Amino acid sequence: MDLADSPEDAEFRAGLREWLGKVLPTLPPKPSPDDWPGRRAYDLGWQRTLYEAGYADVHWQASPGVRLIFLEETERAGAPYVGAGFVGLLHAGPTIAAEGTAEQRARWLPPILRGEEVWCQGFSEPDAGSDLAALRTRAWRDGDDYVVSGSKIWTSHAEVADWCELLVRTDPAAPKHRGITWLAMPMDAPGITVRPLRTLAGSAEFAEVFLDEVRVPVTHRVGAENDGWRVTMVTLSFERGTAFVGEVVACRRVLGELAVEARRNGRWDDPALRRRLGALNAEFRALWRLTQWSVSEAEAEGGLPGVGGSVFKLRYSQARQELYDTAADVLGEESLDTDRPWVHDRLSSLSYTIAAGTSQIQRNIVAERILGLPKGR
Amino acid sequence: MRFRLTEDQRALRDGVRGLLARRFDRAALRAAVDRPGRLDRALWRELGAAGFFALRLPEADGGVGLGLPETVLAFEEAGRALLPGPLVATHLAAGRVPGAAEGETVVAAVDGGGLVEWLTEADVVCGEAGGAVPLRSVDPLTPLHRVPGVSAAVDPVAVLLTAAEQLGTATRACELAVQHARAREQFGQPIGAFQAVKHLCAELLVRVEVARAAVYAAAVTADPADIAAARLLADEAAVRGARDCLQVHGGMGFTWEADVHLLLKRAWLRTRRAGGGTESEELLAADLLSGGVR
């Protein structure tokens, strides 16, 4: 067991740190959260900057350990979050890289890496959430096109996306996992209506997408017809593992800031609150170690991180909510003022035990796939 | 970074697990419960011969010459087997108290909280144990004495090794709960098919895995804040794990005959060592202000 960087890792870390120190002061100011075109331009600009410096494909090419260092160092330095590039870099891109034809890879991957095109995700539907395979958006063949009708929900960046990685039902008669197809849908196609959804935090972080006889060329299908579920699983497993590296680093920084604030406003003298902060320090230290453990395992096994991601997500999502509930106790009455720091983050944290697989679904996964308990109701 | 067990570490863990499976199986555990307060000296010497107490002693001094990570793995196995005796005190005395490393001498220690485990069976006691009064210990496998007015300094290694024992006990609790959930049938199916039971088991595993990462990392860094974190996570994994394991066992879990109560009682006892968890929480709170968040 060893936690130190190898000489190569140390070199990568030092080079990245030096580059971040030079480049970050030159970035333009961050756009306001409501300015979607501004956010798109800012996020793509950062990806372009990464591309020019040779860091663009670190998520695709580098080992899990190097990816961890990249995410750790960029977060520590306060570099921009992947933002609008998320689906392209971490969902659609890896899927196309693994399952696409040479032509499809050549068409779609370079613009993702160069920060030229934004992807969004059309998976969930109003009646297909935890039971994703129950999705009902239909697609049927008409000449060289699929014609798609239905609706998608929880689609982030839909307003500014160029492409949508879309799951559609192509065989309604087949068992539900076997009648699904993966399509790349151009977001400027006729028949697409995007309706922003306002979250409980007050902001429009994602949208509903309505599809009314949208034509998607058959050449935009990745993988075989009706094989989309398997194709999608490649994407979903990619999301786990290093997915929360930056966030854990950020949570640990917030924890330090909370301690300083508590000390300033006197609530540090409340032993119960102080010890809760201490316990959260233990919690996030442990989550950081668990990340390092998973990454080391992934590196040694040579494959993608597996269901261990569910163990991590269960604990992390809960810890994040506890962190911001504790932040509210540090703030006291000020926790009711949405202009105060951490208040908006507290609201956002409520999605963590729901998004990307609810905690209840994650517990089923852990119990059935790791512990081997029988499937049931 | 290669934060995973090496081949040698796996072999060592399997070796200790094998020794304990042979020499301290379930029958031996229940036999020990039936004769409380008595330590199996032959087993203690075997542990000594296997190097359990001398793991961190340099080879030049007759030890095994290994480090904290290996020691943590051995103590985890001891915790998994619910091995009784003053294991931590004797391990820490190796090289300082004659016979401790070899398992010839049983060493007890006065804990910072003023309790002494295994005082009567000990050949040597570290700390001032004058005026010690026996308690009726909640754990049938750990006799206890209370010592008046003691507040000794706490050795972080003792805290870490206790956390390792808790981790082992938590692992055992998870294994027992899953075993029972698979075997026990109600309403015509294994109770583990019900989500209510399944989710208890999943949380058991989550706590074990988080605690494992914390304990192993603390063994690598030996950093006091990492050790404090390991302790808190391992205490939680063991105590809540044993509680949930008991719940999964239903009525059987409340019996003397089932082993579950032995896990819970030992886990409770260990949470009181070294001043309890509040000490660790305070250390970790202070660490936040000293910029320990790197």
pLDDT tens digits, one per residue of B40-65: 999 999 999 999 999 999 999 989 99
In a domain, A352, yes or no: yes
Please write down the HEC assignment for all residues of B12-36: HHHHHHHHHHHHCCHHHHHHHHHCC
A210 and A318 together in one domain: no
pLDDT at res. A60: 86
Question: Which residue in A205, A210, A213, A183 sits closest to A194, CA to CA?
Answer: A210
A126 and A107 together in one domain: no
**A9: distance to nearest CA of chain B, Å?**
8
Q: Where are the alpha helices (DSSP H) in chain B?
A: 7-23, 26-34, 41-49, 68-81, 87-93, 156-183, 195-221, 224-248, 260-271, 277-289
pLDDT at res. A235: 65
pTM of the predicted model, to two decimals? 0.95
Instruction: Select from A113, A136, A161 the last residue of a domain.
Output: A113
Residue range(s) defining the domain that contains residue A307: 240-370
Give chain B positions within 8 Å (CB) of A315. 206, 210
Q: Residues of CATH 1.20.140.10 domain(s) within chain B?
A: 156-289
Nearest-by-CA chain A residue for B7? A1
A59 and A102 together in one domain: yes
Cα→Cα distances A323→A255, A277, A338, A347, Å: 8, 8, 17, 12
Task: Give me the architecture of the B7-108 domain, per CATH.
Answer: Orthogonal Bundle (1.10)
Please tell me if residue B13 touches chain A, with a CB cutoff of 8 Å.
no
242-271 in B: which are within 8 Å (CB) of A?
Answer: none
Q: Please report which confidence band the pLDDT of residue B151 belongs to, taking 50, 70 and 90 as the band edges.
A: low
In a domain, A148, yes or no: yes
CA–CA separation, B87 and A333 (whole Å): 50
**B178: distance to nearest CA of chain A, Å?**
7
pLDDT at res. A241: 66
Please tell me if residue B118 touches chain A, with a CB cutoff of 8 Å.
no
> Which one of A5, A268, A289, A369 makes the best mutation probe of the B interface by having the most chain B beta carbons within 10 Å?
A289
pLDDT at res. A377: 58
Q: Please report which confidence band the pLDDT of residue B70 belongs to, taking 50, 70 and 90 as the band edges.
A: very high
A149 and A247 together in one domain: no
Looking at every residue in chain B, the average pLDDT score rounds to 95
Q: Where are the alpha helices (DSSP H) in B133-223?
A: 156-183, 195-221
CA–CA separation, B191 and B197 (whole Å): 7
In a domain, A338, yes or no: yes
Token pair for B138: 């909640």
Residues A241-268 have pLDDT tens digits of 688 899 999 999 999 999 999 999 999 9
Q: Tokens 């998607």 map to which residue?
A: A216
**A129: distance to nearest CA of chain B, Å?**
18
Q: Residues of CATH 1.10.540.10 domain(s) within chain B?
A: 7-108
The pair phi, psi for residue A35, each rounded to 5°, is -90, 85
Please tell me if residue A298 touches chain B, with a CB cutoff of 8 Å.
no
Residue A160 belongs to domain with CATH number: 2.40.110.10
Please tell me if residue A311 touches chain B, with a CB cutoff of 8 Å.
yes
Instruction: Select from A113, A137, A155 the last residue of a domain.
Output: A113
In sequence order, the 6+-apart residues with CB closer than 8 A to the CB of A368 are A374, A375, B198
Residue A283 belongs to domain with CATH number: 1.20.140.10
Active-site amino acid positions of A: 239
Cα→Cα distances B131→B114, B119, B149, B218, Å: 11, 12, 10, 36
CA–CA separation, B35 and B29 (whole Å): 10
In a domain, A14, yes or no: yes
pLDDT higher than threshold 90 for residue B194: yes
**B67: distance to nearest CA of chain A, Å?**
11
Contact A291, A68 (CB under 8 A): yes
ipTM of the modeled complex: 0.96
Residues A52-111 have pLDDT tens digits of 999 998 988 888 899 999 999 999 999 999 999 999 998 899 999 999 999 999 999 999
Nearest-by-CA chain B residue for A264? B289
Please tell me if residue B203 touches chain A, with a CB cutoff of 8 Å.
yes
A131 and A193 together in one domain: yes
pLDDT at res. B172: 98
Domain tally for chain A? Answer: 3
Start-to-end Cα distance in chain B: 17
Q: Which homologous superfamily does the CATH classification assign to the domain defined by B156-289?
A: Butyryl-CoA Dehydrogenase, subunit A, domain 3 (1.20.140.10)
A109 and A127 together in one domain: no
A250 and A343 together in one domain: yes
Q: Where are the alpha helices (DSSP H) in chain A?
A: 7-23, 36-53, 58-61, 64-76, 86-87, 93-99, 102-113, 228-239, 245-265, 271-301, 308-331, 343-349, 359-365
Instruction: Select from A201, A227, A253 the last residue of a domain.
Output: A227
